[in-house]
Amino acid sequence: MKQSLQLRMGQQLSMTPQLQQAIKLLQLSSLDLQLEIQQTLYSNPLLELAEDIESEPEEVSNEQLANEVADNGDTPGEWSKEIPNELPVDAQWDDIYPAAPTASASASTTSSNSDNRDFESYHSVTESLQDHLLWQLNLTPMSDLDHLIATTLIDNIDNNGFLEAPVEDIWQPLALSLKETGDTSASLALNGSADDSDLALDEVLAVLHRIQQFDPPGVAAIDLSDCLLIQLNQLSPQTPSLEDAKLLCAQYLDLVAERNLPLLCRKTGLDEKALETAITLIQSLSPRPGESIDSGDADYVVPDASVQKIHGQWLVTLNGDIAPRLCINKEYAAMVQRANNSKDNTFLRDNLQEARWFLRSLESRNDTLLRVSRCIVEMQQEFLERGPEAMKPLVLADVAEQLELHESTISRVTTQKYLDTPRGIFELKYFFSSHVNTAAGGECSSTAIRAMLKRMIADEPTNKPLSDSKLATLLQGEGIQVARRTVAKYRESLNIPSSSDRKRFKQSR
């Protein structure tokens, strides 16, 4: 094969470090962006925070204080008067000796008014369900082995208060672990002999029963039936219909959920009145006891942009409080010399270039976010005016075509970015939805259809809920061509039960 030299020309898009940095900042959320800015500030000495220089408060001279005191009618002699012997019960110090308006007092008053913080939000201690159970465990006298078993069981309890795995699945790894470690104290506690260190399942069940007596009632249950029975067993024996409620929870809980009173009457031998009383008692119990222990960890969403209607037009503005303002340190930048190739000068020059790239990337991110938000607001003005039922179909390609950007850029800028509207805070992804054809040849957004279904189900008769077929017919009457399966899919996405389940639920209320 003969070797030869050939000259070829072509175009290729390369991902430069600047482009990679811009793409990275574009897809970051507001919280991740703050972390990225903090890391960049720590690593690059050429970047610094652009802090506003606040003017110091002017000092109040003694002459001004004397004039103010004289204007108020208070003389220095009045401050030296003795406290009267007899004072009213509700007398205050300021009623006898008014406080002098000092500069420090006025400054502290101003700062206290401006810094209106919630004390509980800064000093509250969050507690999870596991922490609450471990606190009770530490107050319960137990052997070392039982304490180990109880800790293992508590670690396998979910946030709703149920065991995440069967007791056998928790017991076997724990018994194997004790056998491998050769815990002599554990074997003596179990069998009185160091030769056999097998952990019995009954020991785990005994510890589980002790945990089930902890607060909240019904915790550490295996299933829903067990959870309700634990709560019923903790009630007073004189509670009306207690035994009937235990029977229903132990054997006929599925029929209770279906509200099948005739079949329950035949199987239990109880009349409908007794069943109603027992079911009412069951409904007073908590099906998820872990929810009563609130961890207090609230997730707050900080909007990246906001939209307001001013003079009949919807205006979009970015949230300037998300990220701190940055600038280049002028002192370090002035020390950079072009012709100097020393190590220190090269370090300053490289960091100066990186600082400029970072600021340009931040500016590009804000500009792209503002453009995309304005485009979405322009296309979804009907939603802002009338609500979710007026949402228009919108896909990424529509915004990308109008702004002359790539769809991947639109996808990055709308992920984990939130818009504050008069109707609430929504992720920018919320405004994108597929479409369904209408009878007039137009298109209707799937978000609008979900809002219509929610409205129809809320207004349905209590004794005769609307089925999926009936909902599809009503939507077709409004000009929306949708099948029953599509209605069922949208209804399930809204976490709305079927018509039969809604009927049983409304009858049981």
DSSP 369-416: HHHHHHHHHHHTHHHHHH-GGGPPPB-HHHHHHHHT--HHHHHHHHTT
Count the helix, strand and coil residues of the chain and give each as a percent rounded to the nearest 5.
Answer: 55, 10, 35
pLDDT value at residue 294: 64
Strand order in the sheet with 313-318: 313-318, 305-310, 418-421, 424-427
Residues in the chain: 509
Who's near 96: CB < 8 A, 6+ residues apart?
A: 83, 84, 87
pLDDT value at residue 125: 52
Q: Is the pLDDT of residue 63 over 80?
A: no
Q: Is the pLDDT of residue 113 over 60?
A: no
Q: Where are the beta strands (DSSP E) in 432-501?
A: 435-437, 443-445
Rounded CA separation 480/484 (Å)? 12
Q: What is the CA radius of gyration of the chain?
A: 35
Rounded CA separation 275/465 (Å)? 25
Rounded CA separation 425/300 (Å)? 11
Residue 200, SS3 per DSSP: coil
Rounded CA separation 489/480 (Å)? 16
Sequence spans of domains, the chain: 129-211, 224-292, 305-431, 435-508
Q: Is the pLDDT of residue 67 over 90?
A: no
Q: Is the pLDDT of residue 194 over 70?
A: no
CATH of domain 435-508: 1.10.10.60
**Range in 11-15, 112-116, 338-342 the model is least confident about:** 112-116
pLDDT, mean over the chain: 81
Q: Are 199 and 190 in contact (CB under 8 A)?
A: yes
pLDDT value at residue 83: 53
pLDDT value at residue 190: 46
Who's near 248: CB < 8 A, 6+ residues apart?
A: 255, 256, 264, 268, 275, 278, 279, 282
Residue 181, SS3 per DSSP: helix
Burial class (CB in 10 A: 0-12, 13-18, 19+), 281: buried
pLDDT tens-digit profile of 284-301? 999 999 888 865 556 678
Write a three-state SS string for 256-315. Answer: HHHCCHHHHHHHHCCCHHHHHHHHHHHHCCCCCHHHHCCCCCCCCCCCCEEEEEECCEEE
Q: What percent of the chain has pLDDT over 70?
A: 79
Burial class (CB in 10 A: 0-12, 13-18, 19+), 85: exposed
pLDDT value at residue 92: 57
- Which phi and psi angles does 418 have, rounded to 5°? -120, 145
Both structure tokens of 113:
């008014």
| CB atoms closer than 10 angstroms to residue 207 | 23
Q: Partners of 309 in the beta sheet?
A: 314
More confident residue, 181 or 359: 359
Indicate the pLDDT class of residue 56, thresholds 50, 70 and 90: very low
Residue with tokens 């405004």: 431
Report DSSP state, residue 466: P
Task: Return contacts of 191-196, CB within 8 angstroms, 24+ apart.
Answer: none
Q: Is the pLDDT of residue 204 over 90?
A: yes
Rounded CA separation 311/293 (Å)? 48
pLDDT tens-digit profile of 266-289? 999 999 899 999 999 999 999 999
Burial class (CB in 10 A: 0-12, 13-18, 19+), 316: buried
pLDDT value at residue 278: 93
Q: Are 219 and 289 in contact (CB under 8 A)?
A: yes
pLDDT value at residue 297: 57
Q: Partners of 305 in the beta sheet?
A: 318, 419
Burial class (CB in 10 A: 0-12, 13-18, 19+), 179: middle
